[in-house]
Amino acid sequence: MMGKSYILTIDQSTSGTKALLFDQSGSILGKTALDHKQQYPQPGWVEHDPMEIYGNVLQAVQRVLQETGTSPEQLAALTVTNQRETAVVWDRETGLPVYNAIVWQCRRTAALCEELKLKGKEPVIQEKTGLVLDPYFSASKFRWILDHAEAEAESNAGRRRAEGRLLAGTMDSWLLWKLTGGKVHATDYTNASRTSLFNIHTLQWDQELIELFGVQGLQLPEVKSSNEVYGWTADPALFDGRVPVTGVIGDSQAALFGQLCHAPGMAKATYGTGTSVMMNIGPVLAAQPGNGLVTAVAWGLDGKVDYALEGIIHCTGDCMRWVRDQLGLFTDYAEAEKQAASLGDNEGVYVVPAFVGLGAPYWSPQARAAVMGLSRRSDKRHVIRAALESIAYQVRDTVELMEAESGIRLRELRADGGAADNRFLMQFQADLLQASVKKPVMTELSALGSAYIGGLTVGFWSSKEQLLTLSREPVMYVPAMDKGLTERYYGGWKTAVSAVIS
């Protein structure tokens, strides 16, 4: 490893793309972030431009290397973590997407999923994949892209499909293909397991599922462990030089690894555009959970996988963005925290952020958002506070479901993601859960987890035990609110959700 001083990590999320440079202490030497456009062609539809995103990857990498004075020769590895489920289909020969990426939030395939449910297909899908049948996951999105492209005569999608030219994958696969100059079409176990096409028992693409969703002829990526070398950088627009690409892992699982939740029973919540609550359950696949939890592959290392229970919350940070951008009630998140904390009580005001339906434990794709309980004395502070509180309520919903399904009482939640910086939210979360919440000093946990895996792969770090020595003392939040008050708040939330669902 002489002269190889850094790990370069690409963190491609729902809202933007970051390039981060980690040193051997696990510290961030430099970081660049670029947002991409959120496209909403119709209500409930969400798209991203894959070419714009890859352009942002190139810019972010070049900027962080330039700003830190780092050369490609100093990079031990380039690693990738990404928004999961978002579906991309592109032409092998032209290198161009046949349609925009359909984002995990997008609900356009609700009718297709409902049709499959009516045909009685949900049990086989859930048994094989660990996932509920929902538009959230990639398979129905691939099908929609195929149907849309083939409906356009000039696209020749049917012919390209028959010729094996149409490549499909989640965002990691798209970036890998571009970064390696079109030489590698691959994904890792975590991303594959979010498509509804991957059998988590056999750890292979499942032909029955491929036919069930009607995506035959799509070229699916090779599935690899996260700690394999996937290939080498080969795009001159990125930089000159060959750097191994490894540490490929979906963002929520990357955060679980970065939070050092390496043992069964350890749990974390990643507060992003949506929120993933995930608990490590080890190498043995448990009985299929119900009530909206899914079984996820926590990670695949050396050809073996660990599993996790996951609860998926569609809209958390995105709700705060709506309050900021659409309602104009605050300008920055520090102001939002101050406004929320200035109230002694929520005064019965609730925001149910069902902008794209509700995820776990409700799984109600048709639900729509609402603000409830407003009175003449309500002002913007009440709406801001209610939006923040809605994040914590949804996490409690999910944690309670996990406890019931797993039989494990969560004594502590590890928090990461942008909203974990909000002290009001983290304290309210601890109060609601009646459990401690630990927030690491390092906030870029998805990127760190990817960097850790990539670093272990190339010998930048020697062992998981060494990683434990790199972690810093976290910020701790302990319950401080009267339990009777928290139950009153939570009861009001359940009433508000019931009104939206009904």
Residue 294 to residues 22, 176, 322, 463, Cα–Cα distance (Å): 32, 27, 27, 30
Helix or strand holding residue 312 (H, E): strand 304-313
Average pLDDT over residues 470-485: 93
Short-list 500, 267, 250, CA closest to 396: 267
- Mean of pLDDT values over 6-30: 97
Residue 485 parent element (H or E): helix 483-501
Residue 10 has pLDDT above 70, yes or no: yes
The tokens 């729509």 sit on which residue?
368
pLDDT at 149: 78
Beta strands across the sheet bearing 101-102:
47-48, 101-102, 87-91, 166-170
pLDDT for 288 beyond 70? no
| Same fold for the pair 6-252 and 260-440+472-501 | yes
Contacts of 305 (CB under 8 A, 6+ apart): 189, 200, 203, 283, 297, 298, 299
CA atoms within 13 A on the CB side of 11: 29
Q: What is the mean pLDDT of residues 315-337?
A: 95
SS3 192: helix
Q: Which residues pair with 8 in a beta bridge?
A: 21, 78
Provide the sign of the torsion angle of the four alpha carbons 78, 447, 31, 39, taken in this order. Answer: positive
Assigned fold of 260-440+472-501: Nucleotidyltransferase; domain 5 (3.30.420)
Pairing outcome for strands 267-271 and 275-282: antiparallel
Please check the confidence at residue 190 and state whether its pLDDT lies above 90. Answer: yes
Spell out the SS3 assignment of 334-350. Answer: HHHHHHHHCCCCCCCCE
Mean pLDDT over 48-77 rounds to 97
**Rounded average pLDDT over 325-351:** 96
Instruction: Tell me the one-letter amino acid at 78.
Output: L
For residue 150, give both structure tokens: 């083939």
Residue 1 pLDDT greater than 50, yes or no: no
pTM of the model: 0.82
Report the chain's C-alpha Rg in angstroms.
22
The residue count for the chain: 502
Percent of the chain past pLDDT 70, that is, above it, reads 96
Question: Is a pLDDT exceeding 50 seen at residue 2?
Answer: no
Q: How far is CA 33 from the centre of its chain?
A: 17
Question: Measured between alpha carbons, how far apart are the two ends of the chain, in Å?
Answer: 60
Higher per-residue confidence, 401 vs 192: 192
Over residues 432-471, the pLDDT tens digits come to: 999 999 999 888 999 999 999 999 999 999 999 999 999 8
Residue 303 Rama label (left phi>0; alpha psi -120 to 50; beta): left
- Residue spans of the domains in the chain: they are 6-252, 260-440+472-501
> What are the C-alpha distances in Å from 11 to residues 49, 170, 242, 244?
16, 14, 20, 16
CATH architecture under which domain 6-252 falls? 2-Layer Sandwich (3.30)
The DSSP letter of residue 253 is H
Mean pLDDT for 199-212 is 97
Angstrom distance (rounded) from CA 440 to CA 451: 16
Residue 395 one-letter amino acid: V
Q: Where does 206-280 have alpha helices with state H?
A: 207-213, 251-258
Instruction: Return the H-helix or E-strand segment holding 22.
Output: strand 16-22
